[in-house]
């Protein structure tokens, strides 16, 4: 399908992070451009892959404005502006919800931060929950939901109080195959509900992540001429799945080019 990448809507420039004297991220630069398809609203989905301990979470926190890098900048939006905490919704794995409040009560707390007018907050909350096929769960308590349903509520919470950008930490972990498909569909649905919507997924599940992404970032470290690791991770490789015609279509999972890419990524993990 014909697509184009236009304005930059997220940009990290020469991000460095040193913790306890150890370089964790080194001169890390990356950008996300608005993907445009004629006659369609197309958001962006970036899959962010890398071996355990390489620095994904730290970069994730910097992208969300939750951690200040040692040097470098992150800008996002259209027009670009320096990231501040709250601009990016972060959905962590443990989906923190207040157990003594109903789902509606939990979500109204988030919605009122952004929409001080109670009836507007309630309208936005019902709209978001409707889009996530959860409108009938508003009266329940968190303990009455399944893990997947709690995840949806956590996503709804972030959609209500942030601006187009969502970071999902391990959205597929602990889910069975049917739930993975359902979450993948939901991610695409949210992404494509607004042109600027951009979802960044950090995950160890290469296939599920690649199946929903239009871009993949591979994070890793360089090696010197003797093969020793140079401390500090960078984005080692970017796959443009839109240009490779490997996105927005469930049938890509069966395409030989998709399978070749997945095994290439698996092989690269040993070097990253």
Ligand X SMILES: Nc1ncnc2c1ncn2[C@@H]1O[C@H](COP(=O)(O)OP(=O)(O)OP(=O)(O)O)[C@@H](O)[C@H]1O
Binding ligand X (rule: CB under 6 A), the pick from 52, 94, 99, 225 is 52
Classify 216 as helix, strand or coil: strand
Q: To the nearest 10°, the Cα dihedral for 56, 192, 257, 53?
A: 10
72 touching ligand X, by CB under 6 A: no
- 9-38 residues near ligand X, rule: CB under 6 A: 19-20, 22, 24
Cβ contact 73:124 at 8 Å:
no
Query: Alpha-carbon distance 230 to 165, whole Å?
Result: 32
| Smaller CB separation from ligand X, 173 or 238 | 173
Q: By C-beta, is 57 or 268 nearer to ligand X?
A: 57
Instruction: Check: CB of residue 172 under 8 Å from CB of residue 183.
Output: yes
Residue 252, token pair as written in the block = 């890509």
> If residue 265 lies in a helix (H) or strand (E), which one and from where to where?
helix 256-269
220 contributes a contact to ligand X by CB under 6 A: no
Single out the residue of 43, 50, 65, 142 in contact with ligand X (rule: CB under 6 A). Answer: 50
Chain position carrying tokens 């007018």: 117
Out of 5, 33, 58, 255, the only residue in the binding site for ligand X (CB under 6 A) is 58
Contacting residue, 3, 16, 57, 102, with ligand X by CB under 6 A: 57
How near is the Cβ of 160 to ligand X at its closest, in Å?
26
Asked if 54 is part of the footprint of ligand X (rule: CB under 6 A), the reply reads: yes
| Residues near ligand X, by CB under 6 A | 19-20, 22, 24, 50, 52-58
């Amino acid at each position: 399908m014909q697509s184009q990448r236009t304005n930059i809507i997220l940009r990290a420039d020469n991000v460095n992070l040193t913790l306890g004297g150890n370089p964790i991220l080194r001169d890390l630069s990356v950008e996300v451009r608005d993907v445009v398809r004629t006659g369609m609203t197309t958001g962006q989905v970036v899959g962010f892959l890398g071996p355990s301990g390489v620095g994904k979470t730290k970069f994730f926190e910097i992208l969300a404005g939750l951690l200040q890098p040692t040097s470098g900048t992150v800008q996002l939006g259209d027009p670009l502006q320096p990231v501040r905490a709250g601009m990016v919704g972060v959905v962590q794995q443990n989906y923190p919800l207040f157990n003594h409040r109903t789902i509606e009560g939990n979500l109204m707390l988030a919605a009122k931060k952004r929409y001080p007018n109670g009836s507007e907050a309630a309208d936005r909350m019902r709209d978001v929950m409707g889009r996530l096929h959860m409108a009938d769960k508003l009266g329940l308590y968190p303990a009455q939901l399944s893990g997947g349903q709690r995840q949806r509520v956590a996503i709804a919470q972030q959609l209500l109080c942030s601006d187009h950008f969502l970071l999902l930490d391990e959205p597929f972990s602990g889910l069975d195959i049917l739930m993975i498909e359902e979450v993948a569909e939901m991610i695409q649905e949210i992404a494509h509900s607004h042109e600027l919507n951009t979802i960044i997924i950090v995950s160890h599940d290469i296939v599920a992540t690649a199946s929903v992404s239009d871009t993949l970032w591979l994070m890793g470290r360089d090696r010197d001429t003797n093969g020793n690791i140079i401390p500090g991770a960078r984005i080692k490789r970017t796959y443009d799945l839109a240009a490779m015609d490997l996105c927005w279509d469930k049938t890509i999972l069966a395409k030989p080019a998709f399978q070749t890419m997945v095994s290439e990524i698996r092989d690269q993990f040993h070097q990253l």
